């Protein structure tokens, strides 16, 4: 979500009743957009990015649009929020070749089946994404907004929590587990 840069103030929940949450999303914000994400995460051979809580990802959406994303280390342990820099890529295969040529290796690749909802709440632009990863049990909901810096993180997370509350998602449903770790464990 962070074109250019900023901190992605995000909370993720494992949904107990995905159908009810989707119904609330659609009633409040209209129909979501179905998207298929194909994500490949890269690291150096020694695993220093992952070991430093950083991520380097190439995401292709529905076989068309591709973005290159770098996420820095968490700035908030409770939410897992990270600085994020993202840019559109004209040629997915070229960016994969560039990263491999620079010595990075694919660490893990997987698909995310998503329904995204662009929304405005409490004067902020947010993105709510219902996520299913075929290799994982359950359905997840990510709600995020971008803040300029660490000083704005608390307010951003407050707006995210308000949306989650309106959708009936409880604090006990929140998780900071990374999809990359969960998919790796499932394999």
How far is 145 from 185, CA to CA, in rounded Å?
A: 29
Q: Are 3 and 69 in contact (CB under 8 A)?
A: no
| CATH classification at residue 109 | 2.40.320.10
What is the Cα–Cα distance from 113 to 96, expressed in whole angstroms?
22
Contact status, residue 16 vs residue 164, Cβ threshold 8 Å = no
The DSSP letter of residue 127 is E
Q: Which of 49, 50, 70 is nearest to 59 (CA)?
A: 70
Look up residue 37 and give its DSSP letter.
E
- pLDDT per position in the chain (187 positions), as tens? 445 679 999 999 999 999 999 999 999 999 999 999 999 999 999 999 999 999 999 999 996 899 999 999 999 998 999 999 999 999 999 999 999 999 999 999 999 999 999 999 878 999 999 999 999 999 999 999 999 988 899 999 999 999 999 999 999 999 999 999 999 999 9
Whether the full predicted model's pTM is greater than 0.85, yes or no, is yes
User: Residue 43 is inside which H or E element, if any?
Assistant: strand 33-43
- Which residues span the domain enclosing 48? 4-186
- Domain tally, the chain: 1
The pLDDT assigned to 2 comes to: 47
Pairwise CA distance, residues 69 & 42, whole Å: 10
């Amino acid at each position: 979500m962070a074109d250019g840069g900023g901190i992605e103030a995000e909370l993720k929940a494992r949904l107990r009743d995905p159908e009810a949450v989707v119904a609330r999303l659609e009633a409040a914000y209209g129909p979501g957009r179905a998207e298929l994400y194909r994500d490949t995460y890269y690291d150096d051979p020694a695993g220093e990015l992952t070991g430093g809580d950083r991520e380097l990802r190439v995401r292709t959406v529905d076989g068309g649009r591709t973005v290159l994303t770098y996420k820095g280390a968490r700035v908030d342990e409770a939410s897992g929020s990270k600085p994020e820099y993202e840019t559109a890529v004209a040629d997915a295969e070229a960016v994969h070749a560039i990263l491999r040529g620079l010595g990075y290796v694919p660490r893990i690749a997987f698909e995310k089946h998503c329904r995204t909802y662009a929304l405005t709440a409490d004067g902020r632009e947010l993105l709510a994404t219902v996520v299913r990863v075929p290799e994982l049990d359950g359905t997840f909901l990510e709600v995020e907004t971008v803040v300029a810096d660490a000083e704005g993180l608390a307010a951003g997370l407050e707006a995210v929590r308000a949306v989650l509350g309106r959708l009936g998602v409880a604090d006990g449903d929140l998780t900071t587990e990374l999809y990359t770790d969960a998919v790796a464990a499932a394999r």
